[in-house]
Each structure stands twice: as C-alpha cells, then as structure tokens.
C-alpha cells in the first residue's frame, strides 16, 4: 500500500482491469439506457397525443362558435326582414316562435308559442319574413295552431299584379308541398314566374302580401281550365319566427289623444 501510494505500482494493473471490464459495464448499462429512452419516447408520445387532442378540441370549439355566429347572423337577418314585412303589412302584429310541427301526418300545421292570453285570435293571418305563411286555425290559452298555405284544408284568394287576374289558391301538401290555382280559365293571362299576392277580397289577409310564385302553367286537353301550380315564397319548412297579424289586417290603433286642461285662472283677474 505504501509502495502503491508512493510509486503508483498498481496503476497499470488498475488500468488493465478497467479496460478489460469496460465491455461488461457497457453491456450492463444498455438495458438502463434502453429503459430510459423508452420512457422518454412514451412520455413525448403522450405529450404529443395530448397536444393533438387539445388542438382538435379547440378547433371543434371554434367550428361550433363559427357555426353559431353564422346561424345568429342568418336569424338576425330574417328578423330584420320580418320587421320590414310587419311595416309593409301596416297591421297589428304579434311576434311568435314556432315550437314544433303538429302531430297530424295528413296536414301541414305548426304550433306557435302565443295563444289567447297574448291576444291571438282564430283566423288571424300568419306571415314570415318572405310572405304569407298560413292562418291560425286553433287557439289555446298559451299556444296556437297554424295551418300552412300548403295544407289541404286551406285556401287563399290571390292576385296576379302583372295582369290583374284573381284566383283562389288551394293547398297541396303532396309532391313537396305547393299551391294549385283551380278553375283558372284558358284565357287567363298568367305565366310561369308570375308573383302572386294577397288580393284582400276576403277581409282576412291584408292586400299586397307576397304569397307564391307560379311554377307551372299547363293546358289540359279537353278542359276549359288551365292546370296552374305555384310555390309559396314563405319558408313552409324550417321556419322559426313568425308574425301573427291582427284580425282582418286591421291597422294599429292611433295613439291616445292628449287632453288639454284649461289653465287655472289667475287670482284677482277679471271674470
């Protein structure tokens, strides 16, 4: 020990042993390095997967928000158009929201969230932002049932502003839904693409409201009448907000007149 401390006698032996044992040390440390590398790989993989899931979640949230914003813009535009239609109708109007379609599969009706307690009356016309949608047929205390234009039991008098021809349009729920102008004589001036409006002769619908656009004018052999089909301009499918007009399209009541009270006489004034 003294000789090794003073003269480093065992240093060559120690170096030879370290060189001989190095392969053994390397072989023993390889599993440790492999386990450490595998742990780092799986940790990185987990972080990468978590980051991908977070990115997908944020992307989904942004897509939902974008869809909601787009839906709100469409709804706001339709509400503005509905208010413009209200001014055009020049009548009392009650705003309502469509709750659901009626359960009867043989009719085209919807239920709105306004009823007797809100001033809705049976027979009142119902419009959306594009034109006439239908008519109130049943009224309950809190809700009402509206028959759409394409309901088979509903008919509406219409006017062709281009030619001045009048007709009666009946609902046709089949074939996607539409209107049929029955008993239209062959000599009637009507063409495909004509816009039909309310005539006002029934004292129910205000005159001039858009109703439908003519899609088919067909001459039937051996008949004195034309086959005329029209498509409603109102959204009979998927409508959300509507206006219920007052009975017979009555204009809104005038504002109450202010009563002027005479000024009190001054004291001491001559009578």
In angstroms, the CA 66 to CA 60 distance is 10
The pairing of beta strand 166-172 with beta strand 155-159: antiparallel
Phi and psi at residue 148, to the nearest 5°:
-75, 165
Compare 16 and 99 and report the one with higher pLDDT. Answer: 99
Compare 255 and 9 and report the one with higher pLDDT. Answer: 9
**Average of pLDDT values for 51-69?**
75
Residue-level pLDDT at 107: 80
| Cβ neighbours of residue 236 closer than 8 Å, sequence gap 6 or more | 108, 133, 134, 148, 149, 150, 177
Compare 191 and 16 and report the one with higher pLDDT. Answer: 191
Question: What's the first-to-final CA gap in the chain, in angstroms?
Answer: 144
Position 214 pLDDT exceeds 80:
yes
The pairing of beta strand 93-101 with beta strand 109-112: antiparallel
Give the ranges where 90-124 is alpha helix by DSSP (H).
none
In angstroms, the CA 251 to CA 173 distance is 32
**Residues found in the chain:** 271
- pTM of the prediction? 0.62
């Amino acid at each position: 020990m003294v000789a090794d401390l003073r003269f480093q006698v065992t240093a060559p032996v120690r170096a030879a042993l370290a060189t001989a044992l190095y392969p053994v040390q390397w072989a023993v440390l390889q599993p440790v390095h492999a386990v450490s590398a595998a742990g780092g790989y799986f940790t990185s993989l987990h972080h990468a997967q978590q980051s991908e899931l977070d990115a997908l979640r944020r992307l989904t949230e942004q897509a939902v928000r974008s869809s909601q914003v787009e839906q709100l813009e469409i709804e706001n535009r339709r509400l503005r158009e509905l208010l413009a239609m209200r001014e055009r109708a020049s009548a009392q109007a009650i705003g309502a929201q469509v709750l659901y379609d009626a359960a009867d599969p043989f009719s085209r009706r919807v239920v709105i969230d306004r009823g007797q307690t809100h001033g809705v009356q049976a027979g009142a016309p119902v419009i959306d932002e594009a034109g006439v949608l239908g008519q109130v047929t049943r009224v309950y205390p809190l809700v009402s049932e509206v028959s759409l234009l394409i309901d088979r039991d509903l008919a509406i008098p219409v006017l062709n502003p281009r030619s001045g021809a009048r007709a009666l349009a009946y609902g046709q729920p089949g074939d996607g839904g539409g209107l049929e102008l029955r008993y239209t004589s062959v000599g009637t001036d009507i063409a495909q693409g004509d816009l039909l409006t309310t005539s006002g002769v029934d004292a129910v619908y205000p005159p001039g409201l858009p109703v439908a656009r003519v899609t088919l004018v067909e001459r039937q052999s051996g008949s004195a009448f034309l086959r005329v089909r029209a498509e409603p301009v109102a959204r009979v499918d998927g409508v959300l907000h509507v206006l219920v007009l007052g009975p017979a399209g009555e204009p809104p009541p005038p504002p109450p007149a202010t009563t002027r009270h005479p000024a009190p006489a001054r004291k001491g004034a001559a009578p």
